[in-house]
């Protein structure tokens, strides 16, 4: 039953992907082959297992670009790469902590690569990509052109001589929210050992949900309300 369902869903996914456009279709095939390769082989190779998980996140974002037709800024793509590696490494770090348990030893029957990772090495990797994530996002927000202010907002600024607020890079207001989100996720990894399921953490942790909502409002307001 599982094989029949998997085959049917794969066929439907490829069929509908082909209806969108050819690049999107090829990305879906690439994603499918990547998941098969990971399940049977790549998950047992140290470092490649982490990179494969991250590439899966990146393909999802690129697929959105192909489907929507909107160009993805290079700094935003680098942010996606950094965040993807950060989440993938955080997943391995939490798995290693949970399996080690109180005794400090990893069970014999477990994921092969976990026996080859050390906590110190994963900590260095997490620190590296946590920093690169917010730095690349900062470059992205800084290098974006200031939005063309809507006329009615311009009139408000002119009325009260608020020249300081005109032609500003409003998108940079979101940087503190991104930094807080990364710090909160690190807290969940090291204090609550919850990083083994990134999607569960992002959908259940209230501080992260609130931060994501505020971040969305800031981005929406900057792009669609202030700018035109």
Domain residue limits at 19:
1-72
Give whole-number Cα distances, 6 to 11, 12, 202, in Å. Answer: 9, 10, 27
Note whether 226 and 209 are within 8 A (CB).
no
Note whether 185 and 212 are within 8 A (CB).
no
Same domain as 83, residue 66: no
Same domain as 226, residue 196: yes
Q: Which pLDDT score is estimated for 172?
A: 86
Mean residue pLDDT of the chain comes to: 83
Region of residue 78 (left: phi > 0; alpha: psi -120 to 50; beta: else): alpha
User: What is the number of domains present in the chain?
Assistant: 2
Same domain as 82, residue 191: yes
Query: What's the average pLDDT block by block, 10 residues per block, for the chain (228 residues)?
Result: 92 93 93 92 90 90 89 90 92 80 54 80 93 94 71 52 57 92 91 77 89 91 67
Same domain as 110, residue 189: yes
Same domain as 141, residue 220: yes
Same domain as 104, residue 89: yes
Q: Which pLDDT score is estimated for 110?
A: 62
* Residue tagged 């700018």 (tokens): 227
Same domain as 184, residue 132: yes
Report the candidate in 189, 208, 199, 203 with the shortest Cα–Cα distance to residue 95: 189
Same domain as 197, residue 137: yes
Q: Which pLDDT score is estimated for 162?
A: 47
Note whether 84 and 57 are within 8 A (CB).
yes
Report the candidate in 90, 86, 80, 87 with the shortest Cα–Cα distance to residue 60: 80
Give whole-number Cα distances, 121 to 92, 102, 107, 109, in Å. Answer: 11, 20, 20, 22
pLDDT in tens, 161-215: 445 455 567 788 899 999 999 999 999 888 877 777 788 888 888 999 999 999 9
């Amino acid at each position: 039953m599982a094989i029949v369902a998997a085959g049917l869903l794969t066929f439907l996914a490829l069929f509908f992907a082909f209806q969108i456009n050819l690049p999107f279709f090829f990305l879906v095939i690439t994603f499918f082959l990547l998941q098969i390769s990971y399940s049977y082989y790549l998950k047992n190779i140290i470092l490649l297992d982490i990179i494969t998980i991250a590439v899966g996140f990146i393909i999802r974002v690129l697929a959105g670009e192909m489907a929507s037709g909107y160009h993805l800024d290079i700094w935003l793509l680098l942010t996606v790469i950094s965040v993807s590696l950060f989440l993938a490494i955080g997943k391995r770090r939490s798995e290693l902590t949970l399996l080690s348990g109180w005794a400090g030893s990893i069970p014999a029957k477990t994921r092969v690569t976990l026996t080859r990772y050390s906590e110190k090495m994963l900590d260095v990797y997490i620190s590296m990509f946590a920093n690169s994530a917010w730095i690349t996002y900062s470059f992205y927000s800084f290098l974006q052109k200031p939005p063309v202010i809507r006329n009615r907002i311009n009139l408000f600024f002119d009325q009260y001589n608020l020249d300081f607020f005109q032609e500003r890079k409003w998108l940079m207001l979101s940087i503190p929210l991104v930094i807080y989100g990364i710090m909160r996720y690190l807290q969940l990894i090291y204090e609550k050992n919850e990083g083994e399921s990134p999607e569960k953490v992002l959908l259940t942790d209230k501080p992260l949900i609130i931060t994501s909502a505020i971040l969305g409002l800031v981005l929406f307001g900057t792009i669609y309300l202030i700018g035109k």
